[in-house]
Structure 1
Amino acid sequence: MPTTLITGASGGIGSALARALAGTHDLILTGRGGAALDALCAEVGGRPLRLDLTRPETFEEALAGLGRVSNVVHNAGVVELGAVAEQGHAVWTHTLAVNTVAPAELTRLLLPGVRQERGTIVFVNSGAGLSANAGWGSYAASKFALKALADALRAEEAEGGVRVTSVYPGRTATEMQRKVRVQEGATYTPEAFIDPQTLARTIAFVLNAPRDATLTDITVRPGPPA
């Protein structure tokens, strides 16, 4: 049974993925800790791993003695909307730290084990990682950089059998999306967005795909109204 580490596992896509993989993957579920993470670990039989994604210098110590890791799903992320003219460096630094630097450092530290397992690394990106709109500069920049990280890693690790996939979801019915809609001054209507379980099933397929295929880039958009 593969061991899969999921960042940002406490809610949204991360918790849906943990439930989708329960029983077929050993799970290491990362978050900032707290009741939600503990409850999810109890529900799916996962191991909690507390990480502060703003402090990559603490990762090596946190990962000490972690053991076998087959797959890594970089799911955690933050967003703060605002025009380039309005957002100071603190927003940019925080967004890039969580959305780009943390995945890069976590990948670096976990890569030797993933190589041994010939495993898969999934980067949950965003439609904003392919096209930047007004007000989305800092977030889109972090996701464009995440795409570059994934593309470079895929080229570097292909011969060793490590598969690397970027998933580009459209708007998904999560608490992050609720926050975005508030910032946009719009109503949060979850039925208009992608169900997190749909993204979870998509990522599960990537992780479980036969070895003769690598799914490099997957774009998922909300479907037509029911």
Structure 2
Amino acid sequence: MSRSSLRVAHAADLRLYFVTDSALCGGIDAVPDVVLAAVRGGAGMIQLRDKQASDADLAELVEQCRRILASGLGPRAAQIPLVVNDRLAVAEQTRCHLHVGQGDASPAQAREVLGAELMIGLSTGTAEQVREALAEGVADILGIGPIRATATKTDAAAPLGLDGLAACLAPWKTARGRHPSAAAGLPRTVAIGGLDDTLVSDVAATGIDGICVVSAIATAADPQAAAASLLGAFDHGRGQR
């Protein structure tokens, strides 16, 4: 675990990772308040995703979220990583972590621009894509999914289900089987896609590091309570392992 970005990923609380959707949150101006509520409910990482916003608007959203977290959380705000979806230029400009999909800039390209300190996340939808990411050795966090079909991302790959998720996580199980510290050099993992309280416990029982949710928090009448409920379900499932 030589690069600093991987050390940051292993220090982060990934149990509940909230990915924003400006429309579902009630507009881009409403996103910072939803982000603060999600963090107060237990979200340990935030990804800002808005495919319609300009780079300038997304960069401003990063700064707005930084300000509201600092105001609402004080020193603890520094413990909540902010991640930009897809926009390498925005990540470079704001010195924000980055998440890319299979069709976006490659993790290697992003690493050349962002350096060794900022985390790079990568979406994966099959065990083969997971193996390719591990072979490349650049991504710090792998988003694995969708676990279940979701309307939030209409171009997502076929749902993996719990069995497919377990297959994707096989390299981590093998590493831990050899020696518990062997997994320290591997990226962290989060499951995404159609997750709610009824499924989160079963997902947690697979040994994954955390869950990513969008609509379960963004559309909730009380985002803080929704986040707390999801985190509780995840912790319950982890305890059943």
**TM-score using structure 1 length:** 0.39
Between the two structures, name the one with larger relative contact order (CA 8 Å, sep ≥ 6): 2
The answer to which structure has the higher helix fraction is 2
